[in-house]
Amino acid sequence: MHLSVQKAAFDAGAELNAFSAGVVGAGAVVSFTGIVRDADGTLSAMEIEHYPGMTEAAIGAIITQAQTRWDLADVLVIHRYGRLEPGAQIMMVATAARHRVAAFEAAEFLMDYLKSRAPFWKKEFGHDGATWVAAKEEDESALTRW
Amino acid sequence: MDVLYFAWVRERIGLPREQIDTTAATVMALIEELKAREERYALAFCDLKSLRVALDQKLSSFDAPLAGVREVAFFPPMTGG
């Protein structure tokens, strides 16, 4: 298991290559990278706050749940905090498994839980000032499918 | 105990953390105590539906007991990912 909560940028390609090289016997590696989006061209930056200590514990528990549900060779989660500009990589998840279904499902499970059960809060800075991103109803209901 | 605030809860209260001496038996009792203190607390805790609480870094509920708890954190629903 590889878990990093960090301020610094990361190289998703290099991370994925290192992760893939480290898994033995896995026939499938799935990865997801989240990027700061500027949907309507008004976002100048995003600030991500987190709860040091609880963040690592919560993500660790989510990874353990995924490992219990699916037969995974390995899991990687990187999540950034601090100030990020549009186009920057916020986070990435990678899963390795013998078969692709487990790798895909576990990656989606991790994403769904990271969204509403890991203590991060996003604040967007735009032309009209700053606003905290509100949690969406569908993020909460996404958990019920698991 | 240490009480921590994050995101807009921190902004409304104006502090990231503070030490509070309390005899409150539950999270709800602590919230009532804080609300009675000052307007900024009343404002931060006015809508409990938009608040979450963690006790010793684990998500919990407002009716949870505070006995033995060292760290209480209040924050809005999380927006990770």
For residue A94, list its beta bridge partners: A31, A76
Distance in angstroms (rounded) separating the CA atoms of residues A51 and B10: 12
CA distance A34 to chain B (A): 7
Q: Which residues of B touch A110 (CB under 8 A)?
A: none
Distance in angstroms (rounded) separating the CA atoms of residues A59 and A92: 13
Residue A83's contacts (CB-CB under 8 Å, 6 or more residues apart) are A45, A46, A47
- Nearest by CB: A121 against B54, B58, B75: B75
Per residue in A83-142, pLDDT (tens digit) is: 999 999 999 999 999 999 999 999 999 999 999 999 999 999 998 899 999 998 888 888
Residue A130 forms contact with B (CB below 8 Å): no
Whether residue A91 contacts residue A79, with contact meaning beta carbons closer than 8 Å, is answered with: yes
Q: Which residues of A touch B6 (CB under 8 A)?
A: 49, 51, 119, 121
Residue A119's contacts (CB-CB under 8 Å, 6 or more residues apart) are A50, A51, A54, A55, A58, B6, B54, B75, B78, B80
Provide the pLDDT for residue A70.
Answer: 97
Percent of chain B whose predicted confidence (pLDDT) is above 70: 100
Residue ranges and CATH numbers for the domains of chain B are 2-75 (3.10.20.30)
Provide the ipTM. 0.95
Name residue A75's amino acid. V
Kindly write down the DSSP assignment for every residue of B4-19, as one continuous string: EE-HHHHHHHT-SEEE
Distance in angstroms (rounded) separating the CA atoms of residues A44 and A130: 10
Residue ranges and CATH numbers for the domains of chain A are 2-132 (3.90.1170.40)
Interface of A with B in 2-31 (CB under 8 A): none
Per residue in B18-66, pLDDT (tens digit) is: 999 999 999 999 999 999 999 999 999 999 999 999 999 999 999 999 9
Distance in angstroms (rounded) separating the CA atoms of residues A134 and A45: 16
- Nearest by CB: B75 against A119, A123, A140: A119
Mean pLDDT of chain B: 97
